Chains A and B, each alone.
Chain A
């Protein structure tokens, strides 16, 4: 994104066309809508305007309108994005703007998909387990730098755009064997939490299917929170798994080492 000034929204009004995936079950197709748009509007505004003007039944999810809740994920002109953060003045409005639901999840209606699978996967990951409080007041002391290390992962807004683009899910449909980048980010947040004592490496290898990831980095490219999913979460997790299960020296060392410490 360029620096300030030249990205300031202009105020002119113009007619634009939106080609929106509409319908449910077998009865689905693109439907075209025309609406007036002004500077600074985002795709979600246009969808809302279409609801109010012509199609009250048009289904989409949204909450915050500020890129913070991760509800409004869709594919805009083929790119997975948040509708509320996609400004119309960054799109070519001489062409129809194509708005489709995410493809890697079962379709419900219009722009809405069934993302419940993500919630089930998360539930299977072992939760946070802190070490015993070690400060005199019954809490913990932590360094800001230790906290900072995991904050990147905790910024995740669960938009599932990364899940949507990952070819292991999108093309190979490994939903039963592969947790997907969102859950690697989640696992990384837990594993690198300064207080956590749980061991998730076996789960990561066997249940989360970390091995399926071949580091294409597509997930990182679409993350609206700019989380460096591949380099900062997935690769370090892969290294830990290798150390734990495949490195003979570590194995030997492990025999003399107490359980994982924070």
Chain B
């Protein structure tokens, strides 16, 4: 796995925010490589730059300096148009607060990325229903977000993230708004999905138990990578299976 070219590689990545006269270094020289098929957890205290790094990987923001490569695409210098296509076709974003479109049904929400990509109506409905079945929500296809539980909303969001068959999933505290049991279900869903389809997952969390499911845990501190921990895969599994999360 480590012999192949990495799917993500950050070099001296920095992101500075100007706050009036002062400047905040949200990221201050991050070097990181993530391999295809890896599950990486970003962990660290609040304000350490986890979200900032994830947003840079997701092409929602541009670095102040340094490079961020996704395979052969350097996001910092890519044109707006390439960035839009990158977000649409190559990554799936999962948010803490779900961010479903409130007036659209579950199926329609899953269809949105396909609609943006110009897929025909029948074809994308078919794919949306298939994805909803995959996340266990076949019976909720016609429900609006306000008719779904938090866990169900996050499942819809996962289905939406998978719609355009991306190679990379990015999740910013996807279990942050859920109770521990539901959070575990979502985590299992994500892990099973990436394993079955060989996807890469970068997940931001505060929760060590969540992080322990990952292949690697990247500890962030003050905008830098403080430590990288290679989790014992089997141990993590046992932990998830037996320990009841607090």
A and B together in one complex: no
Residues on B lying within 8 angstroms of A by beta carbon are none
